[in-house]
C-alpha cells in the first residue's frame, strides 16, 4: 500500500537535513553595507532600525567588527558634506568614501566595494547631470569615470556603478585601465529596477530626487527579457560581476540571469525588504528565522552572494535553518 520512496526519511534529523541541503548559505556569501558621513557621532536611520550613518572612524571600526565576525566584504555609501548640481564631492580625493576606503583598506583584509553613483552627491538627487530636468547620459559617464578612478586610488577592490547609465561599464573600465587600475573589478548594477523598495535607503543616504522619479533610467518592473539584454551589454562592456536589485521581488530575474551567464551574480536585499522584515519580526507576525529563510530563497534562485543589511546580525547570532 505504501510507496517504497518515502521522502520524509530524508527529513527526520536536523543534521541529515543540513547534510542533504541543495542550497548552502554561510557568512562568506554576504556583503555588509555601511553608510558613512563626516560627522561627530553615529546617526540612527529611523526607517531602518539598527542601521546607522557612521563617522569615518566609526565606519572603520564597524568594518573591523564585520571582518572579525567572518564577513568577507563591505560596500560603502557616502553622504557628502556638501552637494551641488554635478555631484562634485563624489570624486574628491579626500571625499568621505575616499577617506573611508583608504582607512578600511589599511586596517583590514576585507574586500572593499564602493557604490559609484551621483545621487547622494547632487543637490537635485538624480543620478547624473541635468538639462531641462533630464539626466544627460553621456555627460554623466565622464563624472562616473572620475568617481570610479578616485575610489580605486583610495583602495577600493571593486567599484559598483549603480546609476543605470548606458555605457557606464565601458567608460569606467577604460578609465580604470588607462590609470593603471586594470586589477580593480567592476560589479555592475546591471539589472536595477525602478522599485518602490528603495524608500528607506533614500533616507539613509539622503538621496531622494528633488522632483520626479528615476523611471527614465532604471528598469521597468514589468520587464524580464530586458534584464537579460542589460546583463549581456554590461558583460560585453567589461563587467566582472553582475547584480540584480532588488532581490526578493525579482527572484525570477536572478534565476534567469544565473542560468544564462557564467559571470558571478550578486543580489541586493534592499532597504525596503530589510525594513519590512524587521517590522514583521518586531510585531510578532513572523519569527526571526524569516531572515535566514529570505536569504536562502535568494541563494536558491541563483545568486552567488548577497548584499544584505542583516549580514552583521546573522554573524553575531546563529539562526536555526528554516
96 close to 78: Cβ distance less than 8 angstroms: yes
Could you say which of 245, 278, 299, 312 is catalytic?
A: 245
pLDDT in tens for each of the 322 residues of the chain?
Answer: 677 888 888 999 999 998 999 999 999 999 999 999 998 899 999 999 999 999 999 999 999 999 999 999 999 999 999 999 999 999 999 999 999 999 999 999 999 999 999 999 998 988 888 899 898 999 999 999 999 999 999 999 999 999 999 999 999 999 999 999 999 999 999 999 999 999 888 887 677 777 777 888 899 999 999 999 999 999 999 999 999 999 999 999 999 999 999 999 999 999 999 999 999 999 999 999 999 999 999 999 999 999 999 999 999 875 444 4
pTM of structure: 0.94
294 is known to lie in a ligand binding site: no
Residue 262 neighbours by CB distance under 10 Å: 7
Cell of 172: 569606467
Tell me the β-bridge partners of 115: 160
Name the strand (E) or helix (H) holding 168. Answer: helix 168-178
* Domains of the chain and any CATH numbers: 23-316 (3.20.20.70)
One DSSP character per residue, 245-256 reads ESSGGGHHHHHH
Does residue 117 have a known ligand-binding role?
yes
- Helix, strand, coil proportions of the chain in percent (round to 5)? 40, 20, 40
User: Is 271 annotated as ligand-binding?
Assistant: yes
**Catalytic-residue membership of 192:** yes
Catalytic residue among 83, 170, 192, 278: 192
On whether the CB atoms of residues 121 and 89 are closer than 8 A, the answer is yes
Question: Among this protein's residues, is 170 annotated catalytic?
Answer: no
Cα separation, 37 vs 287, whole angstroms: 33
Burial class (CB in 10 A: 0-12, 13-18, 19+), 221: middle
268 labeled binding residue? no
Q: How far is CA 308 from the centre of its chain?
A: 7
* Under 8 Å between Cβ of 104 and 63: yes
Amino acid at each position: 500500500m505504501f510507496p517504497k520512496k518515502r521522502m520524509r526519511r530524508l527529513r527526520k534529523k536536523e543534521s541529515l537535513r543540513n547534510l542533504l541541503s541543495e542550497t548552502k548559505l554561510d557568512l562568506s556569501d554576504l556583503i555588509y553595507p555601511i553608510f558613512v558621513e563626516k560627522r561627530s557621532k553615529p546617526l540612527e536611520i529611523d526607517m531602518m532600525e539598527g542601521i546607522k550613518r557612521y563617522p569615518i572612524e566609526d565606519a572603520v571600526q564597524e568594518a573591523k567588527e564585520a571582518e572579525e565576525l567572518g564577513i568577507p566584504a563591505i560596500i560603502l555609501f557616502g553622504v557628502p558634506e556638501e552637494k551641488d548640481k554635478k555631484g562634485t564631492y563624489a570624486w574628491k580625493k579626500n571625499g568621505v568614501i575616499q577617506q573611508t576606503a583608504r582607512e578600511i583598506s589599511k586596517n583590514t583584509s576585507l574586500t572593499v566595494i564602493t557604490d559609484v553613483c551621483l545621487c547622494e552627491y547632487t543637490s537635485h538627487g538624480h543620478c547624473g547631470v541635468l538639462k531641462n530636468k533630464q539626466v544627460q547620459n553621456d555627460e554623466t559617464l565622464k563624472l562616473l569615470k572620475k568617481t570610479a578612478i578616485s575610489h580605486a586610488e583610495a583602495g577600493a577592490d571593486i567599484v559598483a556603478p549603480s546609476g543605470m547609465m548606458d555605457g557606464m561599464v565601458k567608460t569606467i573600465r577604460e578609465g580604470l585601465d588607462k590609470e593603471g587600475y586594470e586589477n580593480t573589478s567592476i560589479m555592475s548594477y546591471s539589472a536595477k529596477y525602478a522599485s518602490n523598495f528603495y524608500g528607506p535607503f533614500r533616507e539613509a543616504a539622503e538621496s531622494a530626487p528633488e522632483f520626479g522619479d528615476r523611471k527614465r533610467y532604471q528598469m521597468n518592473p514589468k520587464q524580464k527579457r530586458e534584464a537579460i539584454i542589460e546583463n549581456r551589454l554590461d558583460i560585453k562592456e567589461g563587467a566582472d560581476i553582475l547584480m540584480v536589485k532588488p532581490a526578493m521581488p525579482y527572484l525570477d530575474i536572478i534565476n534567469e540571469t544565473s542560468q544564462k551567464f557564467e559571470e558571478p551574480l550578486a543580489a541586493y536585499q534592499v532597504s525596503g525588504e530589510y525594513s519590512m522584515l524587521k517590522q514583521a519580526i518586531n510585531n510578532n507576525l513572523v519569527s526571526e528565522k524569516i531572515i535566514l529563510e529570505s536569504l536562502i530563497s535568494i541563494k536558491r534562485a541563483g545568486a552567488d552572494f548577497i548584499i544584505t543589511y542583516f549580514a552583521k546580525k546573522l554573524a553575531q547570532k546563529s539562526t536555526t535553518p528554516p
